[in-house]
């Protein structure tokens, strides 16, 4: 009896200790178990059905195996029907039903809206993301390492790669899709609720694969329209002498050769577009939180933070100039 009671206490303790951890793991901005998109929800429902169904079948088979091992043969009648029913008919019926469901799901997940109001082109580059928004027939709006989406509207993502194979995955919103050089893959996405989500490259693509992440900001549709309109306007003039000095340093050092800032003379295409960088949640493809200090650290020590990336470490500036440049970039919102 004592063992039984200890066992029950142990079980309860495990549940108390484990349950919050398990539940916490289900939430979060990069979780396939916390669906915030139509496609992710479809995948999640199928995933749970497979998990629960698989668990029930596993327990049933283990129970039967135990019974068969312990019971006397004469207490296990109709052996042939067990073999035919459980070993042949049951798997054929369940797997066929599952296959039919999967075909339907795969079809649904790939259905593209005939004339999407918003197409977002995402190109994987070692190790960051180039993003272009096509809407209203106007010139595309460029961004990087962050995708801003309107809640509730169907969006078509067109993904490709500039170098090696990457994989685009925002678990909260949709399934993953390969980014292949010379080929465009299309992924329909409907983000259901506003929020901040996280995507991650899901295919090993070199030394800094692990530091190739991005943020997805889902805004209420009206706010998204305002955001897109703001992205089309040039940034305001620097509000303080320090910010002006920072902007001048940006051009003096030559940052504009690789980076673009919409509405200024900076139109480089090699590196991430920095228009509105101050509003992004993170820096360097999800590597650092976005603050003036981390922008300065990244400019000064990019090769230390993300070795082999194409961003050189600009450790030649004095501290004031570096800070001014970082402050100007952070002011671009």
Strands 128-135 and 141-144: antiparallel
- CA distances (Å), 184 to each of 80, 156, 235, 269, in order? 53, 12, 32, 20
When binding is defined by CB under 6 A, the residue of 120, 159, 205, 284 that contacts ligand CUA is: 205
Footprint on residues 147-186 left by ligand CUA (CB under 6 A):
166
Evaluate whether 128 touches 272 at the Cβ level (below 8 Å). yes
203 binds ligand CUA (CB under 6 A): yes
Q: Which CB, 166 or 217, lies closer to ligand CUA?
A: 166
Least Å distance, CB 31 to ligand CUA, is 19
Q: Which CB, 153 or 209, lies closer to ligand CUA?
A: 209
- 314 — alpha (psi -120 to 50), left (phi > 0) or beta? beta
Least Å distance, CB 161 to ligand CUA, is 8
When binding is defined by CB under 6 A, the residue of 41, 134, 158, 209 that contacts ligand CUA is: 209
Query: Six-digit token pair at 34?
Result: 């916390």
Span near ligand CUA by CB under 6 A; candidates 60-68, 191-199, 205-213, 252-260: 205-213
The DSSP-derived string for 83-140 is: HHIIIIIHHHHHHHHHHHHHHHHHHHHHPPPSS-SEEEEEEEETTEEEEEEEETTSPP
Please enumerate in sequence order all residues whose Cβ is within 8 A of that of 308, keeping only pairs 6 or more positions apart, or say none. Answer: 206, 207, 208
Binding-site string for ligand CUA from residue 270 to residue 299, where x marks contact by CB under 6 A and - marks none:
------------------------------
Q: Which CB, 153 or 158, lies closer to ligand CUA?
A: 158
DSSP secondary structure code for residue 155 in this structure:
E
Footprint on residues 51-90 left by ligand CUA (CB under 6 A):
none
Q: Which CB, 180 or 230, lies closer to ligand CUA?
A: 180
201 binds ligand CUA (CB under 6 A): yes
Evaluate whether 232 touches 304 at the Cβ level (below 8 Å). no
Of 240, 329, 241, nearest to 279 (Cα)? 329
124 binds ligand CUA (CB under 6 A): yes
Residues forming contacts to ligand CUA in the complex (CB under 6 A) are 124, 127, 166, 201, 203-205, 209, 212
């Amino acid at each position: 009896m004592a063992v039984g009671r200890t066992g029950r206490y142990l079980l309860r303790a495990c549940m108390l200790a484990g349950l919050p951890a398990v539940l916490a793991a289900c939430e979060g901005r990069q979780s396939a178990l916390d669906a915030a998109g139509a496609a992710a929800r479809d995948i999640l429902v199928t995933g749970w059905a497979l998990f629960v169904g698989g668990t029930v079948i596993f327990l049933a088979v283990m129970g039967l195996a135990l019974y068969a091992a312990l019971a006397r043969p004469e207490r296990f009648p109709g052996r042939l029907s067990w073999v035919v029913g459980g070993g042949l008919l049951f798997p054929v019926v369940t797997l066929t039903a599952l296959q039919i469901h999967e075909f339907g799901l795969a079809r649904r997940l790939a259905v593209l809206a005939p004339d999407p109001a918003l197409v977002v082109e995402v190109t994987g580059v070692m190790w960051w993301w180039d993003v272009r928004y096509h809407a209203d027939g106007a010139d595309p709006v460029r961004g990087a390492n962050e995708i801003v989406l309107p809640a509730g509207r169907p969006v078509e993502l067109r993904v490709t790669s500039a170098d090696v194979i990457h994989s685009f995955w925002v678990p909260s919103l949709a399934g993953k899709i390969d980014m292949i050089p010379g080929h465009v893959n299309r992924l329909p996405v409907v983000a259901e609720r506003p929020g901040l989500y996280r995507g991650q490259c899901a295919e090993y693509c070199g030394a800094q694969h692990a530091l190739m992440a991005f943020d997805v900001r889902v805004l209420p549709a009206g706010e998204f329209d305002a955001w897109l309109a703001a992205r089309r306007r040039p940034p305001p003039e620097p509000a303080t002498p320090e910010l002006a000095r920072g902007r001048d340093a940006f051009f003096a050092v030559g940052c504009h050769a690789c980076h673009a800032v919409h509405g200024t003379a900076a139109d480089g295409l090699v590196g991430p577009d920095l228009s509105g960088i101050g509003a992004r949640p993170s820096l360097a493809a999800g590597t650092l939180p976005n603050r003036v200090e981390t922008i300065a650290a990244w400019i000064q020590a990019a090769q230390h933070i993300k070795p082999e990336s194409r961003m050189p470490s600009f450790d030649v500036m004095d501290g004031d100039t570096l800070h001014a440049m970082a402050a100007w970039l952070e002011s671009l919102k």
